[in-house]
Chains A and B, each alone.
Chain A
């Protein structure tokens, strides 16, 4: 699998998905998610995982898209278009997204905050040999998994508190 094909398919996938989540009309969101699910399946198929790719296309581009369509038909006019402006109410959500982005970016960049300390602790425990296997690369990221989990759990808790504590813009 060439690097260029991965880059093109990935940019298509992320770009279309981002636009699908930003557009206000839910019908357009549904159509764009349908398209991006096909791109996702094509990405899996291009890497040789034909079963997973076809299963993804059948599930999300087929069943789930039809399910969304039925939901939009049942709900009716309210779901076709809705007012949703970014403002102070969405500030907490954007901050949480940025907080969740920081450990993920650090994760993929293999950044080590305390070089030496974590490695010494692991050496004292005798777990220095890197395991072989399909997911052996996760061993290289062992110094970050705990921090990632803690930050994501904290962000999720804040998000849940934000969702269920605000009164929203309805009463304004």
Chain B
């Protein structure tokens, strides 16, 4: 296993950790933290994909920077929606929010 495959394994582990956190937690803030970790996994996969003989390329770096920008923006938007939901329903539990919405 070379460095590129090693980074891909780490990227897969990060992505799965975030996915598992989103699927199992009952707190909206923790869900967004899981989403953040999924973004990191995607960024690391993009970075590892651009390695040529262990050297980074400008194309993959550009993709990583764009992905960081988009991920942070989406995350900030999700956190603002969490605040709106908390002010409206008074809880961070998504199941309770769903129950209160009906």
Q: Which residue of B lies closest to A138 (CB)?
A: B49
The 6 closest A-B pairs by CB, nearest first: A168-B95, A93-B23, A134-B57, A104-B12, A10-B10, A90-B24
Q: List 19 A-B contacts (CB under 8 A).
A: A18-B13, A21-B21, A21-B30, A21-B33, A26-B29, A26-B30, A44-B47, A44-B64, A47-B56, A55-B68, A75-B86, A84-B26, A84-B30, A101-B16, A134-B52, A135-B59, A159-B22, A168-B96, A168-B98
Q: For window 48-97 of chain A, which residues contact chain B by CB distance below 8 Å?
A: 48-49, 51-52, 55-56, 59-60, 63-64, 67-68, 71-72, 74-75, 78-79, 82, 84, 86, 90, 92-94, 96-97
Q: Which residue of B lies closest to A21 (CB)?
A: B21
A21, A67, A71, A170: the one within 8 Å of B34 (CB): A21
A6 within 8 A of B: yes
**A93 touching B6, Cβ below 8 Å:** no
A129 within 8 A of B: no
Q: A96-B23, A170-B96 are in contact. Are A21 and B37 (CB under 8 A)?
A: yes
- Minimum Cβ distance to chain B for residue A154 (Å): 13
**A63 touching B23, Cβ below 8 Å:** no
A interface footprint on B14-49 (CB within 8 Å = 1, 0 otherwise): 111111111111110110011011001001100101
- Minimum Cβ distance to chain A for residue B48 (Å): 9
Q: A44-B47, A49-B61, A93-B23 are in contact. Are A33 and B36 (CB under 8 A)?
A: yes
A75–B92 Cα distance when bound, in Å, is: 9
State which size class the interface on A falls in.
35 or more
A79–B59 Cα distance when bound, in Å, is: 40
B17, B55, B65, B83: the one within 8 Å of A17 (CB): B17
**A108 touching B34, Cβ below 8 Å:** no
**A108 touching B20, Cβ below 8 Å:** no
A3–B58 Cα distance when bound, in Å, is: 21
B10, B25, B72: the one within 8 Å of A14 (CB): B10
B6, B21, B58, B83: the one within 8 Å of A6 (CB): B6
A46–B75 Cα distance when bound, in Å, is: 26
Which residues of chain A have C-beta atoms less than 8 A from B40's C-beta?
A: 17, 36-37, 40, 60
A78–B73 Cα distance when bound, in Å, is: 25
**B52 touching A52, Cβ below 8 Å:** no
Which residues of chain A have C-beta atoms less than 8 A from B72's C-beta?
A: 59-60, 63-64
A38 within 8 A of B: no
**A71 touching B98, Cβ below 8 Å:** no
Which residues of chain A have C-beta atoms less than 8 A from B25's C-beta?
A: 84
Which residues of chain B have C-beta atoms less than 8 A from A100's C-beta?
A: 15-16, 19
